[in-house]
Amino acid sequence: MIKERKSGQLIVISAPSGCGKGSVINGLLKRNKNLWLSVSTTSRQIRENDIPGVTYNFVTEEEFKEKIKEGFFLEYTNYVGNYYGTPKGTIKEKLDQGIDVILEIEIEGAANIKKLIPEAIFIFILPPSLKTMVKRLQKRGTDSKEKIIKRFHTAYKEINEVTKYNYVVVNDILEDAIDKVEAIITAEKCRVDRIEEVFVDTKEEEIHELLMDDEKAFDNESLSEKLDLSLIHISEPTRRSYIS
């Protein structure tokens, strides 16, 4: 029998501003009940589409700095003049419950997570073209011209970081991009290194005896009793946890 790790998978998704990463993640969440999106804390201004407590937890810069001192964050960064941070607490809880957790964070935060949790999956989303990226940035009504330009330069630099990730997905057709990210998560779940223990060996002798026994070898009940065991056994939530 093979014992697989039960803890959820940590999935880090980054994308330069203007890649439509939010739509990809929303699509994923709609399709998968076992996925949970971590809600970051930020000191940036609330935008039109923001829902406090859902898109972000909004705090002042002073409150953010206080939380840094308290050790509230798994990682945090200052991005284009505002603070953003991933709270530690709920993530550990969700992973221990076997729920997959998505962190939607920029590249510096992703690099910090890689140091802390190298077994996380790192996915980078790209726009189909620079034109699409610029157009998407301009569409954000609440950002000033200066902010849009700053975000463009940051996004442009970020594209060079793609090779630090495990996977890259181009968000051209939204449904295709969601399919690809879903496929990556599924493939990761089948990785051999998610297996904790293999104990197929212990059954070999028993099955040998069964096959030697002329009566039992062709008897369905005996066969079911011995062989109807799933080879992949999902263990109870393990003590082994990503985040301490």
**Which parts of this chain interact with ligand 5GP (CB under 6 A)?**
17, 40, 44, 75, 77, 79, 84-86, 104-106, 108-109
We find the least distance from the C-beta atom of residue 134 to ligand 5GP, in angstroms, to be 15
Which CB sits closer to ligand 5GP, 96 or 106? 106
Which CB sits closer to ligand 5GP, 6 or 151? 151
Which CB sits closer to ligand 5GP, 55 or 222? 55
Residue with nearest beta carbon to ligand 5GP: 109
We find the least distance from the C-beta atom of residue 105 to ligand 5GP, in angstroms, to be 4
Which CB sits closer to ligand 5GP, 5 or 44? 44
CA distance 114 to 14: 13
We find the least distance from the C-beta atom of residue 188 to ligand 5GP, in angstroms, to be 21
Structural contact between residues 199 and 233, judged by C-beta atoms closer than 8 angstroms: no
Structural contact between residues 68 and 85, judged by C-beta atoms closer than 8 angstroms: yes
Beta bridge partners of 73: 87
We find the least distance from the C-beta atom of residue 83 to ligand 5GP, in angstroms, to be 9
